[in-house]
Structure 1
Amino acid sequence: MVTLTPLEAELLEVAGSVPDPELPVLTLRELGVLRAVHVRDADAVEVELTPTYTGCPAVEAMSQDIERALHAHGVRKVTVRTVLTPAWSTDDISAEGRRKLREFGIAPPRTRSASEPVSLTLGPTRTHPSEAPADAPIRCPHCGSADTELLSRFSSTACKALRRCLACREPFDHFKEL
């Protein structure tokens, strides 16, 4: 475990409070993309940021927003470095972030045990709950029903899918698991 200086902890809090440009209901800390803040000298800070996926178009906006927030906090030189290892996973979204997604009307990604391997199965996309594993339903954020169907694998962003609840008939986004 890395020990932060009090100043690094303070600056991590400032950078972490920046809202995600695509999901402004979440902060970068809650989304889990802000990895570290390192004080390099009295006036220089390096921030490590991991995109949700390679080529994520929001990285540039995130970097600029982090720079603005830290400059406003009195840091003169800010360098935001994109780090790809370890890769970001939906498991990095905090419990608070998952709560906020649900309240915003987006079904949060399902969680898995840290020791559980990530399975990869190539084949047709599951579109109806009868085709999904019984222990992993995608619940409607409006009414809580697990009786949902996939309308589109992509929604307003590539990391979300569009689903519909068969109980209340409301459409909703589902933050896909990675």
Structure 2
Amino acid sequence: MVDVRAAVAAVVDPEIRVVTIDDLGILRSVEQDAATGRVTVTITPTYTGCPAMDVIRADIRHALTAAGHPDVEVRTVHSPAWSTDWISDAGRAKLAAAGIAPPPPAGGTGRAVVPLTLAVRCPHCGAPETEQVSRFGSTACKALWRCRSCREPFDHVKAL
């Protein structure tokens, strides 16, 4: 049988298909009851109204069933709220490689931080001369930006 954590960690985000739910930090925990075999997965949405959560839950159940673990419970927790700090370094690299500008980590100070973006670097050419075109991008958790140097549009994951 496939390791339960690895099976769940490999589930791809349905809105940003280049990263997994583990890369994004949506996956909080995976536990298996030794006596019953039941697998309990805990996830946190990127924001409360995220329309992808039903698909993510179904994909988790499908991945675990395919790995030989049909008894699955998926729990959704909202506290603490998801943060872009939870995106892994691998996730940030995958986003950038796909032309989506990831937010920089806030530094994990534990204090409330007001995000202040001085420059969003273009994921295509690396130039800091960019501008926000729309607060809303291809999904609700991204904004649409454009590079003034190479003129290419790109999504930027909103810092939360």
Q: Partners in 1 of 2:7 and 2:15 — Cα distance?
A: 19
What are the residue-to-residue correspondences of 1:80-159 with 2, within 5 Å?
A: 80-115=74-109, 117-120=111-114, 136-159=118-141
Q: Partners in 1 of 2:104 and 2:135 — Cα distance?
A: 16
State the one-letter code of the partner of 1:169.
R
Match of 1:34 in 2: 27
Question: Sequence identity of aligned pairs in percent?
Answer: 50
Gaps of 5+ in 2: none
> Relative CO higher for 1 or 2, CA cutoff 8 Å, sep ≥ 6?
2
Match of 1:58 in 2: 52
Q: Partners in 1 of 2:47 and 2:85 — Cα distance?
A: 14
Match of 2:145 in 1: 163
| Aligned partner of 1:25 among 9, 18, 26 | 18
State the one-letter code of the partner of 1:75.
H
SS at the partner of 2:3? helix
Gaps of 5+ in 1: 1-6, 122-131
Q: Partners in 1 of 2:31 and 2:23 — Cα distance?
A: 19
Q: Partners in 1 of 2:38 and 2:18 — Cα distance?
A: 29
Q: Partners in 1 of 2:114 and 2:101 — Cα distance?
A: 21
State the one-letter code of the partner of 1:36.
S
The Cα shift of 1:117 comes to 2.8
The Cα shift of 1:176 comes to 0.7
* TM-score of the pair, normalised by structure 1: 0.84
Q: Looking at CA atoms only, which structure, 1 or 2, has the larger radius of gyration? A: 1
State the one-letter code of the partner of 2:11.
V
* C-alpha contact (below 8 Å) 2:61/2:70 kept by paired residues: no
The Cα shift of 1:116 comes to 5.8
State the one-letter code of the partner of 2:93.
R
State the one-letter code of the partner of 1:140.
C
State the one-letter code of the partner of 1:175.
V
SS at the partner of 1:70? helix
SS at the partner of 2:40? strand
SS at the partner of 1:54? coil
Deviating above 6 A after TM superposition, structure 1's stretches of 4 or more consecutive aligned residues are none
